């Protein structure tokens, strides 16, 4: 059934209306500082199932629960540890998600069957208001069709989900532009499961101890099977289930160029000319001199723009794989399906 997707603003009336949809078990996309999320009442298993259906998302890929107040933590987990509190005090509201032990009350459809749950407090007033007004904690996967680039504007959400959800709250465009850092807090040594705007170094500093990185983040699998699952050897087992899927893919073919910057520019220019002779339209994403935060902010929006313009091939230059650069490269590798051209 096709729904009449309404685009809402952020007035009190809009938020009240959106909250009524959530309370009735419907779906509302909401703005955050990272990317737009697709919201439903996290404690209503049926509503959560609708989110998987609307996105076409595999059901073993768990969702983040969005909260508006520190005390909401105790609705999903039994105990807030000292380490968790330190991160909450420093980074919330903000682009950090913590994986913590899940209370039995949290529907297992939210956690993909796991006994842990991912939680974050987004830095977006309309979304915090929506949580408070509805009285519901919200699941919020990125509000795109599964596999597509994540949405950083309300119109990106509408492009993907029009007719599939009840409403979209249009807020400011997302200032971070890539999804939150996901850190597993269930063992003594925290582990980053998905890199993001908040870096390993920042987490380490606040906690006063070492923070690990899931080794799968840096591993480059070779191919995707027909279901979009990354296929490699036995060792590729990312701990965040979502990290094993093909992701963020533009319609265009995408190639990442690495190597000496001058040689890369030459190689790209040459190949662009060659391809033009075959009638292919090539566009480039140059990250050489760009500050990684800027690259993060533009990345997904740029992919969507090129798709709209029917670009055939996207050439992208790589960023250094540390700090926020690592988070951008993690997305870029997946967008390109690990299609990498090493220029010697």
Interacting residue ranges for ligand TXA, rule: CB under 6 A: 32, 34-35, 37, 61-64, 95, 97, 99, 111, 114, 116-118, 120, 122, 140-142, 179-180, 182, 193-194, 239-243
Q: Which residues is 38 bridged to in the sheet?
A: 29
Smallest distance, Å, CB 142 to Mg ion?
3
Cα dist from 310 to 63, 217, 304, 315, whole Å: 32, 31, 10, 14
Site for Mg ion contains 330 (CB under 5 A): no
Residues 6+ apart with CB under 8 A from 336: 254, 255, 256, 316
Smallest distance, Å, CB 13 to ligand TXA?
24
Closer CB to Mg ion, residue 61 or residue 186? 61
Site for Mg ion contains 10 (CB under 5 A): no
Site for Mg ion contains 44 (CB under 5 A): no
Token pair recorded at residue 207: 């906690």
Smallest distance, Å, CB 128 to Mg ion?
21
Task: Provide DSSP, 96-139.
Answer: EEEEEEPPTTS-TTTTTT-SEEEEE--S-HHHHHHHHHHT--EE
Closest-approach residue to Mg ion (CB): 142
Contacted by 111, from Mg ion, ligand TXA, none: CB < 5 to 8 Å by type: ligand TXA
Contact at 8 Å (CB) between 314 and 252? Answer: yes
Spell 32-65 as b/e; 16+ CB within 10 A means b: bbbbbbbbbbbbbeebbebbbebbebbeebbbbb
| CA neighbor of 306 nearest in space, from 283, 330, 286, 322 | 283
Is 50 strand, coil or helix?
helix
Token pair recorded at residue 248: 């963020």
Closer CB to ligand TXA, residue 99 or residue 282? 99
Site for Mg ion contains 152 (CB under 5 A): no
Backbone angles phi, psi at 275, to 5 degrees: -70, -35
Closer CB to ligand TXA, residue 101 or residue 261? 101
Site for Mg ion contains 97 (CB under 5 A): no
Site for Mg ion contains 146 (CB under 5 A): no
Closer CB to Mg ion, residue 10 or residue 152? 152
Where does this chain touch Mg ion (CB under 5 A) — which range of 44-52, 142-150, 319-327, 333-341? 142-150
Closest-approach residue to ligand TXA (CB): 242
Closer CB to ligand TXA, residue 160 or residue 179? 179
Smallest distance, Å, CB 62 to Mg ion?
11
Q: Which residues bind Mg ion (CB under 5 A)?
A: 142
């Amino acid at each position: 059934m096709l729904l009449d997707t309404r685009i809402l603003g952020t007035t009190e009336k809009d938020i009240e209306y959106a909250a009524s949809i959530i309370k009735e078990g419907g779906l509302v996309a909401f703005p955050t500082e990272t990317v737009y999320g697709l919201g439903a009442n996290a404690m209503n298993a049926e509503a959560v199932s609708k989110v998987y259906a609307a996105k076409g998302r595999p059901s073993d890929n768990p969702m983040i629960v969005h909260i508006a107040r520190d005390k909401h933590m105790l609705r999903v987990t039994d105990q807030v540890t000292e380490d968790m509190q330190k991160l909450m005090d420093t980074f919330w509201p903000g682009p950090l998600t913590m994986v913590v032990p899940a209370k039995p009350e949290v529907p297992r459809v939210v956690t993909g069957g796991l006994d842990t749950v991912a939680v974050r407090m987004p830095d977006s007033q309309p979304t915090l208001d929506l949580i408070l007004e509805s009285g519901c904690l919200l699941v919020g996967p990125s509000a795109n069709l599964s596999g597509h680039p994540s949405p950083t504007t309300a119109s990106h959400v509408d492009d993907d989900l029009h007719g599939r959800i009840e409403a979209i709250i249009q807020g400011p465009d997302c200032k971070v532009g890539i999804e939150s850092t996901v850190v597993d807090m269930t063992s003594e040594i925290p582990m980053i499961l998905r890199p993001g705007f908040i870096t390993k170094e920042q987490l380490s500093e606040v906690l006063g101890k070492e923070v690990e990185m899931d080794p799968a983040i840096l591993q480059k699998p070779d191919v995707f099977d027909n279901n979009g699952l990354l296929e490699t050897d036995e060792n590729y087992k990312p701990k965040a289930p979502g990290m094993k899927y093909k992701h963020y893919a533009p319609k265009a073919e995408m190639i990442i160029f690495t190597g000496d910057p001058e040689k890369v520019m030459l190689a790209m220019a040459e190949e662009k000319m060659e391809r033009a002779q075959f009638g292919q339209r090539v566009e480039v994403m140059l990250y050489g001199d760009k500050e990684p935060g800027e690259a993060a902010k533009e990345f997904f929006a740029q992919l969507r723009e090129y798709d709209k313009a029917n670009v055939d091939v996207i050439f992208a230059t790589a960023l250094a794989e540390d700090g926020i650069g690592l988070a951008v490269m993690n997305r870029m590798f997946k967008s390109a399906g690990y299609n990498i051209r090493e220029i010697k």
